[in-house]
A and B are shown apart, each in its own frame.
Chain A
Amino acid sequence: MAEPLIELEGITKTFGSGAAAFQALKGVDLTIERGEFVAIMGPSGSGKSTTMNILGCLDVPTGGVFRFRGVEVQKLDRDQRSLLRRRYLGFVFQGFNLLARTTALENVELPLLYRGESKVKRREAAMRALDQVGLVPWADHTPAELSGGQQQRVAIARALVTEPDVLLADEPTGNLDSERSIEIMELLRRLNAEGITILMVTHEEDMAAYAKTIVRFRDGLVERIERGALAAEGSPA
């Protein structure tokens, strides 16, 4: 069996220093295999966002080892981590974070720009990704002309366009009503079924129920890991 996709060993993260220092993570151990759909849950301040930032290679741990595809990420510099994100990771945010006054198609093309793909290839791949989220007819619309659910689907298409190993979703349904939320979760589950590994932070049990594994955080530590329980029971919706 190949090595796990993601391994966290004794990860600590301290913000600030001296008396004002705050330890957000106190030694997190976590292993995530390829093809997983993991929901990370926990109350505010439990360390789930900090963990997500570290998993997304946006932040580095203060201590411990973070291996991604066998590479020790905590040893990489800023640009090397950027290259890692560019090649293997896709991000979906709570606030969608699309470029304003830029069409859906151009938003989806953006990550390919930094890969130096040709204009024709960019367009092809972006249309394919928009097709995956069912937004081809909306390709020429700007975010302001799209609903929240549609905007989040554009953001998912942008994350998918590079065919990443891992999709990181930070509260992807946080700004959506329940009907749109279900649409998004169904989409994520379908993508996971097609092979992409998904890591999602959420505080809604309903949404977490779509995941195969739920990791619960408390006080900077992993409190409990619930594997496959709900997935085996089928969809809660």
Chain B
Amino acid sequence: MLGTTILLALREIRRHILRSILTTLGIIIGVAAVVTMVTLGNGVTASVQEEISSLGASNFIVFPVRTDRGTIRPFDEDDVRAVEQQIAGVELAAGNAGATATAFYNGQDWDTRVQGVNDAFLKAQSIDVTEGRPFTTEEETAGKNVCLLGLKVREAIFTPGTSPVGARMRLGDVSCQVIGVIEERGQGGGGADEDDAVYMPLKTVQRRFKGSDNLDYFVVKYDAAYAASVIQDSLVDLLRERRLLQGAEPNDFNVIDTAQVNQALGAATGALTAMVAVIASISLLVGGIGIMNIMLVSVTERTREIGIRLAIGALAREVRLQFLTEAVVLCALGGLVGIALGFLASIGLATLIDVPFVFDPAINIISFLFAAGMGIVFGYYPARRASQLDPIDALRHE
């Protein structure tokens, strides 16, 4: 009986194909919007989390900022040592000083960025060496001319398939020996391409490229067992003290908590998803009212048919089921079309805004069931009206 009812419903829908499509447009758009936005939201979250994890979990990034007087007071290695030794819960602190330079090897050249870092920095940022070896303590303290290559630089100036480890290359007018290659990193936190870089010991870069002991910024990795806010407070207090800032003077440096950035981004994605959910709900509500309207029209148009069915012995609930099935099938078809459109739209948009396409079966199933549920909610009243018609009046209906 139900199978026959569904076939009957499909036939009625096919009879008024244009009307059916227009009627379900609201449902189609609503479902497509939900599927697209949730899928893209998942993609954005995934790519943000990847980025955050590349910054290293449980990290602070500390850098000087311009004061009202327009000066910048940089940090140096003494500040880093003080933070590492004087604040409980800090596992390590490590500075970074960078410069731009052109890399030369075997007649090839490539403009890139030289990152002055020590091994501690690489550990704090989870930067791994895939070929060769990291810096030794001796190379760091002596400021030796050794370097680790980012993937892009290797591809740009070294022949593919050959190992650059052991080669002597030139960075600007500084000669250096390649001791290793860095794993693929992708887009960094600041939007910079982390693969387009050459890493040298901090002291080497300070001495040969910068001409000072200054740092651009330093990172602080702390024990996850400690509360971030406690460590941040100690960090700020210590740095203010070291920089001789008086009570009312504002901080002339900034501390960024990567975990907090993560949370903020998560909250932003959540808010966006919630907003889309509201818009989609309105679209679905409007769509549902459209369904109810068209079902009422259908009941009126088919009054005689209902009369015939009742006269030959259809029960009220059988007539109700017939019209309810029609509304549900209509909405479910709308849901399927919406899911298909949402699927295509999210693949397209994911490529466009460069986030991974993360397929979420749950949202597709939920959207479909919700659409079908709309059929029950908005189809019930027209179906009930059909089932309560008086057979004598219905047969007389012109």
Q: Write the residues of chain A forming the contact surface with B, with a CB cutoff of 8 angstroms.
A: 53, 56, 58-59, 78-79, 82-87, 89-91, 93, 97-99, 101, 110-111, 113-114, 116, 158
Give Cα A28–Cα B304 distance, bound, in whole angstroms: 30
The contact size tier of chain B is: 20 to 34
Give Cα A85–Cα B309 distance, bound, in whole angstroms: 11
Pick from B312, B314, B315: contact of A91, CB below 8 A: B312
CB-contacts of B301-324 with A (<8 A): 304-305, 307-318
CB proximity of A226 to chain B, nearest CB, Å: 28
The verdict on A97 contacting B308 (CB below 8 Å), with A83-B313, A85-B313, A113-B4 known, is yes
Q: Write the residues of chain B forming the contact surface with A, with a CB cutoff of 8 angstroms.
A: 1, 4, 15, 304-305, 307-318, 391-392, 395
Q: Which residues of B contact A89 (CB under 8 A)?
A: 313
Which of B308, B311, B395 has the most chain A CB atoms closer than 10 A to its own CB? B311
The answer to whether A93 touches B395, judged by C-beta atoms less than 8 angstroms apart, is yes
Further contacts, 7 of them, CB under 8 A, given A97-B304, A111-B313, A113-B4: A79-B315, A82-B314, A82-B315, A87-B313, A91-B312, A114-B315, A158-B312
In the assembled complex, 30 residue pairs joining A and B whose CB atoms fall closer than 8 Å, in A order, are A53-B392, A58-B311, A59-B392, A78-B316, A79-B315, A82-B315, A82-B316, A83-B315, A84-B313, A85-B311, A85-B312, A86-B312, A86-B313, A93-B395, A97-B307, A97-B308, A97-B311, A97-B395, A99-B305, A99-B308, A110-B308, A110-B309, A110-B312, A111-B313, A113-B1, A113-B4, A114-B309, A114-B312, A114-B313, A114-B314
CB proximity of A16 to chain B, nearest CB, Å: 15
Give Cα A84–Cα B310 distance, bound, in whole angstroms: 12
Give Cα A152–Cα B357 distance, bound, in whole angstroms: 62
The answer to whether A111 touches B312, judged by C-beta atoms less than 8 angstroms apart, is yes
Pick from A82, A83, A90, A98: contact of B310, CB below 8 A: A82
A111 to chain B: closest residue by CB: B312
Q: Which residues of A contact B318 (CB under 8 A)?
A: 114
Give Cα A97–Cα B309 distance, bound, in whole angstroms: 10
CB proximity of B301 to chain A, nearest CB, Å: 11
Q: Which residues of A contact B312 (CB under 8 A)?
A: 85-86, 90-91, 110-111, 114, 158
Pick from A58, A82, A84, A98: contact of B392, CB below 8 A: A58
Q: Which residues of A contact B392 (CB under 8 A)?
A: 53, 58-59
